[in-house]
Structure 1
């Protein structure tokens, strides 16, 4: 959920730089947040955004408008995050097995937004979500994956706007 509080000065400086960036730089930054070219071009083309919240709303709207093929392309560009370096071997094995089962069943990497989840809880959250979502029907999981991709994209945009207006390095 987006905060109704006004943006911090850092957000505004980052947003101003994003709004002023050349179209190719803005599109490249956005492609680092969501792998759909049409989505990135659409969000970039509607600049300038008056607030970060308006940018996030436009990103959501463009995400909801992705065709099936565009969603497939965006999901195909996703990769599963590695486990934390201090994860026990059993947890690494469970994660690898779960991710492989998910990819085999649904044909794309497992996507989940961990925005707001404490680092110590992330591995458990991912493992539980994989177990739960493996039971979904393919179309049901497609809806869940699309929603998680939108949430992940929002977090990446916030990170990118805070970090730099022209670097596509989005951390999650």
Structure 2
């Protein structure tokens, strides 16, 4: 992705709402980590969680944010681009795996809601 393309793609991503199943302290830590990341890099934190069990995802997100906060902006842009590629592959795979809808029911889906139940999460 060009610099402009990556900036546009990252701007289209957003952090999800709080993880309702997480303990309050974990939700607070997650909100603080997201705020620190967005303040440092100017965009939402994106990470692909493919291959992780649901109970492992919160830990992966928190450790990912903490690790990536130490990156310089250029390195983090490269890591974010790789994570976006993984997210897009997961979203496309989920769309392909869905049963085809009749042409009367097909509608355009925004990038943010293409696969709301995907294990790939932009956070």
The counterpart of 1:82, out of the listed 17, 34, 57, is 17
Cα root mean square deviation, aligned: 1.4
Higher helix content, 1 or 2: 1
CA distance in 2: counterparts of 1:90 and 1:73, whole angstroms: 33
CA distance in 2: counterparts of 1:94 and 1:84, whole angstroms: 11
* Contact 1:112–1:149 (CA under 8 A) maintained in structure 2: yes
Partner of 1:111: 46
Partner of 1:67: 2
Partner of 2:64: 129
Deviations 1:82-131 (A, max 9, x none): 34312111000000000000000000000000011100000010000000
The counterpart of 1:144, out of the listed 75, 79, 83, is 79
What SS class does the counterpart of residue 47 from structure 2 fall into? Answer: coil
Matched, 1:170 2:115: yes
Gaps of 5+ in 1: 1-65
Gaps of 5+ in 2: 101-105, 119-123
Query: Which protein, 1 or 2, shows the higher relative CO under an 8 Å CA cutoff with sep ≥ 6?
Result: 2
Q: Which of structure 1's runs of 4+ aligned residues deviate more than 4 A?
A: 164-167
